[in-house]
Structure 1
Amino acid sequence: MELIRQQCKNNAGAREICHTLLKRCTHLNKLNEGKIIHALLLNSRFRDDLVMQNTLLNLYAKCGDLVYARKLFDEMSSRDVVTWTALITGYSQHDRPQDALLLLPEMLRIGLKPNQFTLASLLKAASGVGSTDVLQGRQLHGLCLRYGYDSNVYVSCAILDMYARCHHLEEAQLIFDVMVSKNEVSWNALIAGYARKGQGDKAFCLFSNMLRENVKPTHFTYSSVLCACASMGSLEQGKWVHALMIKWGEKLVAFVGNTLLDMYAKSGSIEDAKKVFDRLAKRDVVSWNSMLTGYSQHGLGKVALQRFEEMLRIRIAPNDITFLCVLTACSHAGLLDEGRHYFDMIKKYNVEPHISHYVTMVDLLGRAGHLDRAIQFISEMPIKPTAAVWGALLGACRMHKNMELGGYAAERIFELDSHYPGTHVLLYNIYALAGRWNDAAKVRKMMKESGVKKEPACSWVEMENEVHVFVADDDAHPQRREIHNMWEQISDKIKEIGYVPDSSHVLLCMDQQEREAKLQYHSEKLALAFALLNTPPGSTIRIKKNIRICGDCHSAFKFVSKLVEREIIVRDTNRFHHFCDSACSCEDYW
């Protein structure tokens, strides 16, 4: 610094040195060091040099001091396109998209034409304004066409990414298809878009095409593809991607490692998730959160709490997601006192409880049958209960067959959000379980009038990279006869060792014989029969279901696991169920 000070006095090469150092400070995010150089420049003859001012503006904007960046911008006597781009980029990169977009009309009004970097930053801002609001993005796309930047690979990637982040994947795909030269950024943007939207199959297919085109995946590619595998619960494909990373000598950088362990946990292999966790060179709060979630989902609530205490001992500061994971673990394991203890601990770590924490506490109390305490907890909430809070109570009422409180919870939900998912179905189920078919019929009528449709239950099994999907009474599968015959044989055998069909889970107005016939061909039972037909003896069977597993199927699967001496893992919307030797990891608490 003394050398720079002397050169500033002598003006001997100081401009070039300061310019280089400021750029270096920006690259390394060293704002304080950059401020020292700025202070020296204030007394130099090139303090009003436009290039130097732009470099300073870029330093403050990129390092996140947007208040001072704006002050510098406003005080500049002259501005060029680099000046405007620096501030726009700063706003865009630091989650102030609207401020970035508001600069464009001002820039155009004084006759400055945005360059490729300006437009790329504006497109990034447009994707951050609202996840589905694509209007401003489309206007910017039109501006890119007008200025002839649509063929520029840098701008094209930004347009593609904007559409993908706004969930307009058809348009993103069109942009991708017409790109003359595609680089890893364009592939990554589209793969990530499909993964975020839950279209894991398309993301994985695109990844396969990327490999065929000999485009080398980056860490961002692997992270997105592993997210796609996690959303599908596709363990085979996830393992293949992991093997590819090992083959190509990819280092397990933090965010990819976190995604990898999350994939294993969500795909049913908590053991592999733990192995990845143990091998991570650096474990951040995201790593710990992923493991806590995994333990919770796999029925290992007490292990999750032990790991949380370990996390605190080594001084990893928990965040709001951490506490949500811990409370979910308590809810899934029925740990009431522990749940209350950890909920009260949240503010100790300067975390403000948000609505998800309250929802989980209501779920914890309600799931345990303490409906009176759940309603009291809701009444004492410092924030207004949302439809999600009442939805957790309604779910508990369905579980414990409390019609009166369930009806009250449903009314509160309809007042707040008449289209809140699952409300009508839960209310119908409560009435049907109680045999109040007239009330159930009224709910059905309400659903029809409101245009609400029940999501059809389906289960699927992945085998040799092919997914086999089943619905109740499925007769579309090529092996339908063998599947039905297999389940009928299995059903007869498990009845001999104690299984009794529970027809109360058929929520339709029909006689006992019809109810038992309906139970026979639920989607998860057909998926299990298919897996038994097509997998080697002794191998683990993995089934996914899009809604909560049926209580009768849950009972049947316990007996089947003993009969065939195999582990059966079912992933439903709530958790994983590991069936082994006539028991389930959830201990019948789900």
Structure 2
Amino acid sequence: MAATAPTPIPITTISELRQYHSQLVRLGLASHPAHARRLLAFLARDPARLPYAARLLAHHPDPRPALLNPLFASLPPRAAAALLSLMLSMPLQPDHFTFPRLLPAAPLALAAQLHALLLKLNFHSHTQTLNALLAAYLTGARPDLASRLFRTSSSSMLDVVSWTTVVGGLCRLGLVDDAREVFDGMPERNLVSWNSMISGYVKAGRYLDALEVFDQMRALGVEGNGYVAASAVVACTGASALARGREVHRWVEQSGIEMDNKLATAVVDMYCKCGCVDEACNVFDSLPTKGLTTWNCMIGGLAVHGRCNDALELFRRMEMAGVAPDDITLVNVLTACAHAGMVTEGRGYFRHFAESYGIEPKMEHYGCMVDLFGRAGQLDEASKVIDGMPMEPDIAVLGALFGACKIHGNVDLGEAIGWRVIELDPHNSGRYVLQANLLAGAGRWDDVTKVRQLMDERNVSKEAGCSVIEVDGEACEFRCGSLCHPQEEDIYAMAIDMVRRIRAEGYVPDTSEVFHDVAEEDKEESLLYHSEKLAIAFGLLRARPRETLRVTKNLRVCKDCHEATKYISLVFEREIVVRDRNRFHHFKDGTCSCKDYW
């Protein structure tokens, strides 16, 4: 009758190990691979125990590399190296599976030593070992060593994993152009290869390049999977390419790719950030199961689109579904309250998350509360939040109060906070511009000049307004004050006519944020060439009748452009969606979804 192994017990001391080992010996099970590995794994973690491990191996009836190889991947690098040294001293020679297990977690110095050892033992021509060494060098941020090894290896040693390892590693290091060169030279590719290149471009912010590779993959008839689809959707989001996003979504549905939590969240996020919150809701509602990240994404999307009651109702649905919220949920809920001026509700949720879910407020949550009170004009309450924080406020928290002071014209508090913010973030031009606008609103032109001089001394340039509009699947970019476009004359003519027509309906240019001490006529002309007006003019020229115009701007929309766009939506009978730095504005029939509270 076969002996029964003793019940495994936690081994924390050498004394406990000796007891367990003695039971195995009595039962004749000490040489069983699983039990032997358990003993060796404990012993290898402490150099003082290695003599015991050596004796255990010396008395093992069949001490082969297969006994030790599985341990290398689970041990800390130093312990794994010590076990390898013990193995070599037996002598017990490594085999083809030793180095692939040992190299992935090895720090750079150890990887170099192992490289020398595998050359000495003549394992350098083994493909799996080569791939593991390439990964180790790239993980250790030595693309030069990885590239040299890759170039000097014979083609017979390199497989698709080798090429993909290099592509993925270079992308992770931000060397996407080098990665693309390797990718283009691949003799064969698998889905991991395609996704490595696409996701590499996405992480580098080169969304159009990512979509180009995705199109190349599809043109070759390669069937995708959820990872590739998610990367392509994120690229569409980053490029604000709604038409492409819809196309990728259709491809996912037609390909039968499973809409897992990651992909579902990416699709919902894409529709939210491309201005189609209703389509995001349709996708969200169609999901049979929803993960926390998908709930968070949808709640946050509704919040930044100004549908704050819907966002809070969705949070209540999330609670009823038994999904526990996290830090991000609280940020999204407080953002919804802040965008709608729901101060009482925001206070209640701030307490509710702490009391019901044990979520301790972090810096970003205090920032949301400052924003909540600040937008509502309760600057004293916002200041109290900052004074009561258990940590020093960061630039985002102070910036929220600074912005609120500008909105509500509190020059004294705003100026003091503004100089503090500028010193904390001296290279951010937006801080100087906000301070100058605040002082200009009070007619303090000499102080405005001082702000501009400080910008010059520090070589800080004002960030130019930039707006992107997608028409017929093509994204066109416009910059404030300058236009380089084949239809330049037509666009300017449309912008002038656009302003003329909305003036007839009651629009009056708001020059309060043009802080230069110049003639009113010049101020109004400068407003005409704001980037979002040029983008909308182009959209009116090119888009089909009644087609929704979608504009993405890099800065906060100014008061004049906000007012003008309301009139444009009425006069030209267009729905216009503008995504600025803070939120979405849906203009229709002369009104905005933000209700002029932004």
Shorter-normalised TM range? 0.7 to 0.9
Matching of residues 414-453 of structure 1 within 5 Å: 414-420=422-428, 422-453=430-461
What SS is found at the alignment partner of 1:503? coil
Matching of residues 156-555 of structure 1 within 5 Å: 156-348=163-355, 349-420=357-428, 422-555=430-563
Once the two structures are TM-superposed, the CA of residue 497 in structure 1 deviates from its matched residue by 2.6
CA deviation vs aligned residue, 1:70-129 (integer Å, no higher than 9, x gap): 86875674274745543554x5xxxxxxx7446425535756767655665676677778
Instruction: Give yes or no for contact 1:47–1:53 (8 Å, CA) kept in 2.
Output: no
Structure having the higher Rg? 2
2: CA distance, partners of 1:522 / 1:417: 26
Q: Partner amino acid for 1:274?
A: C
Q: Partner amino acid for 2:114?
A: M
Q: Partner amino acid for 2:470?
A: E
2: CA distance, partners of 1:331 / 1:179: 51
The answer to whether structure 1 residue 560 and structure 2 residue 571 are counterparts is: no
Which one of the candidate residues 564, 582, 586 is aligned to 2:590? 582
Instruction: Give yes or no for contact 1:565–1:581 (8 Å, CA) kept in 2.
Output: yes
Q: Partner amino acid for 2:287?
A: L
Instruction: Give yes or no for contact 2:134–2:150 (8 Å, CA) kept in 1.
Output: no
What SS is found at the alignment partner of 1:452? coil
Moved more, 214-223 or 258-267: 214-223
Instruction: Give yes or no for contact 2:138–2:146 (8 Å, CA) kept in 1.
Output: no
Aligned to 2:66: 51
CA deviation vs aligned residue, 1:56-81 (integer Å, no higher than 9, x gap): 554xx3xxxx67x9868756742747
Once the two structures are TM-superposed, the CA of residue 262 in structure 1 deviates from its matched residue by 0.9
What SS is found at the alignment partner of 1:186? helix
Instruction: Give yes or no for contact 1:413–1:420 (8 Å, CA) kept in 2.
Output: no
What is the count of residue pairs matched by the alignment? 544
Specify whether residues 450 and 163 from structure 1 end up closer, same or farther in structure 2 by C-alpha distance, changes over 3 A only.
Answer: farther
Instruction: Give yes or no for contact 1:387–1:412 (8 Å, CA) kept in 2.
Output: no
Instruction: Give yes or no for contact 2:414–2:438 (8 Å, CA) kept in 1.
Output: yes
Specify whether residues 549 and 110 from structure 1 end up closer, same or farther in structure 2 by C-alpha distance, changes over 3 A only.
Answer: same
Aligned to 2:20: none
Note the aligned Cα RMSD (angstroms): 3.4
Identical amino acids, percent of aligned pairs: 37
Q: Partner amino acid for 2:374?
A: G
Instruction: Give yes or no for contact 1:390–1:413 (8 Å, CA) kept in 2.
Output: yes
Once the two structures are TM-superposed, the CA of residue 551 in structure 1 deviates from its matched residue by 0.8
Instruction: Give yes or no for contact 2:399–2:421 (8 Å, CA) kept in 1.
Output: yes
1: CA distance, partners of 2:556 / 2:134: 40
Specify whether residues 317 and 535 from structure 1 end up closer, same or farther in structure 2 by C-alpha distance, changes over 3 A only.
Answer: same
CA deviation vs aligned residue, 1:223-279 (integer Å, no higher than 9, x gap): 111001111221111011112222323232221121111111111111111111112
Specify whether residues 332 and 521 from structure 1 end up closer, same or farther in structure 2 by C-alpha distance, changes over 3 A only.
Answer: same
CA deviation vs aligned residue, 1:354-390 (integer Å, no higher than 9, x gap): 3322322222222222222222211221122222222
Moved more, 571-580 or 146-155: 146-155
Instruction: Give yes or no for contact 1:254–1:280 (8 Å, CA) kept in 2.
Output: no
Name structure 1 gaps, 5 residues minimum: 23-40, 92-98
2: CA distance, partners of 1:512 / 1:342: 46
Moved more, 265-274 or 399-408: 399-408
Instruction: Give yes or no for contact 1:73–1:83 (8 Å, CA) kept in 2.
Output: no
Moved more, 344-353 or 434-443: 344-353
What SS is found at the alignment partner of 1:182? coil
Q: Partner amino acid for 2:248?
A: V
CA deviation vs aligned residue, 1:193-235 (integer Å, no higher than 9, x gap): 2212222112112211222233332221111110011112211
Once the two structures are TM-superposed, the CA of residue 47 in structure 1 deviates from its matched residue by 9.2
2: CA distance, partners of 1:551 / 1:169: 40
Q: Partner amino acid for 1:386?
A: D
Once the two structures are TM-superposed, the CA of residue 300 in structure 1 deviates from its matched residue by 0.9
The TM-score, its normalising length taken from structure 1, stands at 0.82
2: CA distance, partners of 1:70 / 1:315: 44
2: CA distance, partners of 1:542 / 1:381: 39
The TM-score, its normalising length taken from structure 2, stands at 0.81
2: CA distance, partners of 1:236 / 1:542: 11
1: CA distance, partners of 2:3 / 2:268: 50
Specify whether residues 458 and 437 from structure 1 end up closer, same or farther in structure 2 by C-alpha distance, changes over 3 A only.
Answer: same
1: CA distance, partners of 2:429 / 2:483: 29
Instruction: Give yes or no for contact 1:101–1:122 (8 Å, CA) kept in 2.
Output: no
Specify whether residues 566 and 415 from structure 1 end up closer, same or farther in structure 2 by C-alpha distance, changes over 3 A only.
Answer: closer
Once the two structures are TM-superposed, the CA of residue 296 in structure 1 deviates from its matched residue by 0.9
1: CA distance, partners of 2:80 / 2:530: 67
CA deviation vs aligned residue, 1:6-56 (integer Å, no higher than 9, x gap): 9x9899xx87xx79xx9xxxxxxxxxxxxxxxxxx99x9779653244335
Which one of the candidate residues 98, 101, 108 is aligned to 1:86? 101
